[in-house]
Amino acid sequence: MKLLSLIIPLLLHPVHVSLTGIEYDGDSRIYSVSVRVYSDDLAADMNLGLSTGESIPGDADQRYFQYLSDRIMIIENGRTLKMKLLHSESDGLEHRFRLETYGGKRVTKVRVVNRIMTRLYDDQANMLLFSFGKMDEGYRFTAADTIRDYIVR
């Protein structure tokens, strides 16, 4: 009975988490980005609009792309890279996205910004798996910590 009383509150409290993977291919200079978010959280955060306060217009894929471009950024040597949405899908419970962008020739510093749902939930956890050359690192972004810098040489 005690175990049940501990588990029920956990089931009633939703988990606010997203998962992003960024993998850099040095030969092609392509960053492959994958994002997974819960569909209900995504809809609620998209209703807040862009960081500028503007609404997000367009069809579904245009709206998703604008949202993701506003919330996730890769900044290489001080230059924000422009991503392209390759694929989006949903099973009703979660949305999955694949994006890509091209990097420069001589990369020394990569900054990753992840603000998915950070205006929506104070307890938001945005998990990142970052792979660049021989570097593989996991990181947990929060509502108060949305930027991570990598020295990649």
pLDDT (tens digit per residue) in 85-119: 999 999 988 999 999 999 988 899 999 999 999 99
User: Measuring CA to CA, how many Å separate 31 from each of 40, 94, 123, 132, 138?
Assistant: 27, 23, 28, 9, 16
In order, the DSSP letters of 97-152 are EEEEEE--SS--EEEEEE-TTTTT-TT-EEEEEEEETTEEEEEEEESS--EEEEE-
Residue 103 CB-density burial (10 A; 0-12 exposed, 13-18 middle, 19+ buried) = buried
Question: 32: part of which helix (H) or strand (E)?
Answer: strand 30-38
pLDDT tens digits for range 22-51: 999 999 999 999 999 999 899 999 999 999
What pTM did the predictor assign?
0.88
DSSP 81: P
Res. 12: pLDDT tops 80: no
d(CA 48, CA 58): 15
Comparing CA positions, the residue from 153, 143, 92 lying closest to residue 114 is 143
| pLDDT value, residue 92 | 85
Query: Do β-strands 72-76 and 17-25 pair in parallel, antiparallel, or remain unpaired?
Result: unpaired
